[in-house]
Chains A and B, each alone.
Chain A
Amino acid sequence: MALTGDLKTFNFVDILQIIAKDRKSGILLVEWADITVAYYVKDGQIIFARPVDRVFRVYAERDFDLLIEKLRISKDNLSKTVERFLVDRLNLKDGVFSFTPGFVKYASNNYGIVFPIEKIIMMASRGLLQEEVERKISDEMLIFEPAENIQDIIKRAELTPEEQKVLSLVNGERTVFDIRKDSGLDNLTVDRALYGLLALGVIKRKKKEKKQKPSIALDLLMKIIERIKEL
Chain B
Amino acid sequence: MRTIKKIKIVIAGPFAAGKTQFINTVSEIKTVKTERRTQAAGEKNVKDYTTVAMDFGKIRIDDEHELYLFGTPGQSRFDFMWEILGEGALGIIILVDSTDPSTFHEARKIINFFSSRFPVPMVVGANKQDLPNAWSPDDVATALDISEEEDIPVLPVSAIDKESVKRVLLTLLEIIKTELTS
Contact = CB atoms under 8 A, between A and B. Distances in A.
Interface stretch (A2-10, A28-36, A47-55, A176-184): A2-10
Interface stretch (A87-95, A149-157, A159-167, A212-220): A212-220
Interface string B56-98: 0001111001010000000000000000000010110000000
Nearest to B116: A208
Contacts, number: 122
A216 B139 contact: no
Interface string A198-227: 100000110110111111101011111101
A21 interface: yes
Name which of A142, A208, A214 has the most chain B CB atoms within 10 A of its CB.
A214
A231 B179 contact: no
Interface string B140-159: 00110101011100000000
Interface string B104-129: 11001100100110011100000000
Given A17-B142, A136-B105, A228-B169, A2 B119 contact: no
A1 interface: yes
Interface string B167-181: 001100110110111
Interface residues of A, number: 43
Interface in B27-41: none
A51 B143 CA distance: 27
User: Size range of the interface on B?
Assistant: 35 or more
Interface string A7-40: 0111000100110011000000000000000000
A10 B107 CA distance: 13
B3 interface: no
B166 A229 contact: yes
Nearest to B102: A9
A216 B180 contact: yes
Contact of B176 (A14, A207, A214): A214
Given A211-B120, A216-B7, A224 B133 contact: no
A21 B176 CA distance: 29
Contacts of B180: 213-214, 216, 218, 221
A61 interface: no
A63 interface: no
Contacts of A215: 88, 90
Nearest to B176: A214
A105 interface: no
B135 interface: yes
Contacts of A198: 145
Given A207-B149, A216-B7, A225 B105 contact: no
Interface of A: 1-6, 8-10, 14, 17-18, 21-22, 135-136, 138-139, 142, 147, 198, 204-205, 207-208, 210-216, 218, 220-225, 227-229, 231
Nearest 7 A/B pairs, CB to CB: A9-B102, A135-B105, A5-B101, A10-B101, A21-B142, A211-B119, A204-B147
24 contacts: A1-B136, A3-B101, A6-B101, A6-B102, A9-B101, A14-B101, A17-B142, A18-B139, A18-B142, A18-B143, A136-B145, A142-B112, A205-B147, A208-B119, A211-B121, A213-B180, A215-B88, A216-B7, A224-B65, A224-B67, A227-B59, A229-B166, A229-B170, A231-B26
